[in-house]
Amino acid sequence: MSLDLIDVALFVRVCATRNLSAAGREFGLSPAASSARMAQLERQLGARLLHRTTRQIALTQDGEAFLERAVALLEAAELAESSVGGGAEGPHGLLRVAASVSFGRLHLMPSLAAFLALYPGIRLDLRLSDRVIDLAVNGIDVAVRIGPLRDSALVARTLAPSRLWLCASPDYLARHGTPATPHDLTQHECLVLDGFHPWRFQDRDGEIVMRVRGRMQSDNGEALRDAAVAGLGIALQSTWAMYEQLKSGALVRVLGQYPIVPQSVVSAQYLNRNYLPPKTVAFIDYFAARFGPVPYWDEGLPD
């Protein structure tokens, strides 16, 4: 008996959500029908795929082995569908995208209406979280991430630079003075983003490493940007996060003669597979063109 692709797709979503009922609702299935379909798939394969209790779902060894093949099977089916009939007219299907909260709100959301209008066959599932999630386990087609590629199972395509600057409000600098060198930061209130410590600078003699501190830190860059605007200290920010405040004068650059290292990029990251679905290619190409090597948020800012 051949495998039912709905059963395979349901299995993949169960792996992503770790919730059989929630995954079933995506397919219009009741909890009982979802459970029956999973049992049917396991009978056909002759293997137990999931450990199920009243509290949690976990993959068995056979389930882990089948998951990668299941995703590849669904992609192959999508490729076959997209090559003929109405599917050949353009990218289509459900596209699952992950991004950080701040970048997603500021730079993906404003462009999504135009993207979806350009590709009416695509449906979008956008997941905004500052937690780095596993693309395969969560069924994510593409993640927009800031920083270097950290997973060898992924491929990354650069969408834009992500320049890092120190910034502060004119009011803060008027009250506390403007640091002349990175070493002066030990005398200032520094607004520290979790995971970005210590601060590193480049000068002609090499790298300067500063373990800064202050009365406020956060896991959210927008919160620290707003704290800098309020005069609470000096923040290390990406220009994409504060370009409006820089252009309005609410924030000014500090220690611009000492570049932050390492600099970063915005990239689209996806699983390393032979076949990349047209919907994923369309998303990546659209935002690569939307941002580019000199993105709109850096227009008018000094190099």
Picking from 45, 60, 82, the residue at the C-terminal end of a domain is: 82
Angle subtended at Cα 158 by Cα 70 and Cα 68, rounded to the nearest 5 degrees: 10
Which DSSP category does 217 fall into?
A: E
Residues 75, 133, single domain; the answer is no
Same domain for 290 and 241, yes or no, is: no
Q: Give the CATH number for residue 73.
A: 1.10.10.10
Q: Do 123 and 207 fall within a single domain?
A: no
Tokens of 245: 């405040």
Separation of alpha carbons 41 and 20, rounded Å: 14
Q: Which domain holds residue 150?
A: 90-160+266-298
pLDDT, position 73: 83
Is there a single domain that holds both residue 73 and residue 100? no
pLDDT one-digit tens code per residue, 191-241: 998 877 799 999 888 899 999 999 999 988 899 999 999 999 999 999 999
Number of domains in the chain: 3
The pLDDT, as a whole number, for residue 196 is 75
Give the integer Cα–Cα distance in Å for 201 and 296: 25
pLDDT at 276 exceeding the cut of 80: no
> Does residue 303 fall inside a structural domain?
no
Question: Are 281 and 197 members of one domain?
Answer: no
Q: For residue 118, count other CB atoms closer than 10 A to its CB.
A: 12
Shared domain check, 275 and 134:
yes
Give domain status of residue 137, yes or no.
yes
Instruction: Look at residue 86 in the predicted model and tell me its pLDDT.
Output: 52
DSSP state of 104: I
Segment 179-192, tens digit of pLDDT:
999 999 999 999 99
Peptide bond connecting 262 to the previous residue in cis, omega within 30 degrees of 0? yes
Q: What is the pTM of this model?
A: 0.73
Q: Look over the chain and give the mean of its residue pLDDT values, rounded to a whole number.
A: 88
Q: What is the largest CA-CA distance in the chain?
A: 76
- Residue 71 has a pLDDT of 81
Give the separation between CA 200 and CA 182, rounded to whole angstroms. 9
Are 135 and 170 within one domain?
no
3-class DSSP assignment, residue 84 = coil
- Higher local confidence (pLDDT), 196 or 36: 36
- pLDDT(285) > 90: yes
